[in-house]
Structure 1
Amino acid sequence: MVVTIDFKHVFKHPLPLVAETHLTKYPNDKDKWVFKVETIERKIDLAKGLDYRRRWAFCENIIPNILRQVSLLNVKELILEEEAWLNIHSGHLKLKSRNITWANYASMSEESKFAHSADNPNWTVFEQHGKIDIHSLGPLTGLLEVFAGKIIKYGVHKTVRIMEELLSEKSGKSGFDS
């Protein structure tokens, strides 16, 4: 079974602010799970208005201790890779993320896009599609997929909440309507 999530949210803030906030949001005091981000590669093409970044996020292992009895799952940190393409001219930020840790046993992928809202050019639409496919773990597969599904849904809502808080701090106003 593959666990998927599709999510859409409108930030009532302009795209440049939302994109900059996304690209600089970690680490922060609002989320202790992500404790370090390293830029592995960055290319800027001023003529085309493109800014490409490949980054690794180092996260706390949040798998419950009962599941960490399996030595494979008992690692201190998880590493996720994010590729980001910011296009200044067309006004969008595209992202692709995947897991580095446990890549032989599970694949986590997310594709996200931040773009100008059709309803208001000063707002930004965030759309995300994510999936997790766990394989090669025998009877633990089903249990881990249930856990992963809950975590991915919790994670996207938490990320939006953190983004809204950071955006409000930067812009001096509240933009979160839930």
Structure 2
Amino acid sequence: MVQKYQSPVRVYKYPFELVMAAYERRFPTCPQIPVFVGCEVLSDTNSPDGSQRVTERRCKLNVEAPYLLKKIIGVDFVYFVQKNMLDVRNRTLNIEAHNESFASRVVVLERCRYYVHPENSDWTCFEQSASLDIRSFFGFENSMEKLAMKQYSQNIAKGKEIIEHFISELKKEGVTYLPPWSEPNKAVPDDEDDDDDDDYDYLR
């Protein structure tokens, strides 16, 4: 049986660009998420005008499971592939993730989306959904379903705190605003445009 999770829409009272800068600080490691051991970038591409960026990462997660279950499955870590599609022109970030480990036995799909609040352009919304389909798991299907959904819900609750934490870090560093992306001005020489590029380091 497929288990599904749909989070309520979360609202950050900060502009999209600032939330994105905070989000990027979660990589490659994040002490605030103990289960997240680290990640490697598989691919990272930008559109010619810089308005779109697609990043694919392979993420390593700690297996938070009872000792007996960890011994049976024979691993301490599992791997997920995450694909981020950032569109700074339309101010959206779409995230898709799926499990690489035990893919023939378990199918985990997650979709997340950051976007501008429809009624306040200085706020950012976040929504998240996930599905879990355990087809065969050494006779522990029911236990794994309960454990996975419990831990997933706990990690969801941490998500808002982590973004707020990194926004606080940015503020301490004097970063309280990042301008929205604008169409590159081809008439501006490269040496005069260098300062503007600094504002968008979080896109790289």
TM-score (norm: length of structure 1): 0.88
For the residues of structure 2 that align with 1:35 and 1:138, how far apart are their CA atoms? 25
Residue matched to 1:19 = 20
Which of the two has greater strand per residue?
A: 1
1:54 aligns with 2:53: no
How well do the aligned residues superpose, as a CA RMSD in angstroms?
Answer: 1.6
CA distance in 2, matches of 1:108, 1:62: 16
Aligned counterparts, 1:100-119, within 5 A: 100-119=100-119
CA contact (8 A) 2:40 2:57 kept: yes
**Secondary structure in 2 matching 1:101:** coil
1:75-119 CA-to-partner distances (Å, cap 9, x unmatched) read 121111110111011110001011111111101111111000123
**Distance of 2:36 and 2:138 partners within structure 1:** 29
Tell me, in whole angstroms, the C-alpha distance in 2 between the residues paired with 1:137 and 1:35.
23
- The one-letter code of the counterpart of 2:165 is E
Equivalent of 2:30 in 28, 31, 42: 28
| Rg comparison, structure with higher value | 2
Paired-residue identity, %:
20
Give the ranges of 4+ consecutive aligned residues of structure 1 lying more than 3 Å apart after TM superposition: none
Q: How does 1:1-178 map to 2 (within 5 A)?
A: 1-7=1-7, 8-26=9-27, 27-47=29-49, 49-70=51-72, 73-137=73-137, 139-172=139-172
Structure 1 residue runs without a partner (length 5+): 173-178
Give the paired residue count.
170
> What is the CA deviation profile of residues 143-166 of structure 1, one whole-angstrom value per residue up to 9, with x for unaligned ones?
111111111111111122212211
Per-residue CA shift, 1:22-71, capped at 9, x if unaligned? 2331312222221211110011003261100000111111122132232x
Question: What SS does structure 2 have at the residue aligned with 1:156?
Answer: helix
Structure 2 length as normaliser, TM-score? Answer: 0.78
What is the CA–CA distance in structure 1 between the aligned matches of 2:60 and 2:154, rounded to whole Å? 18
Gaps spanning 5+ residues in structure 2: where?
A: 173-204
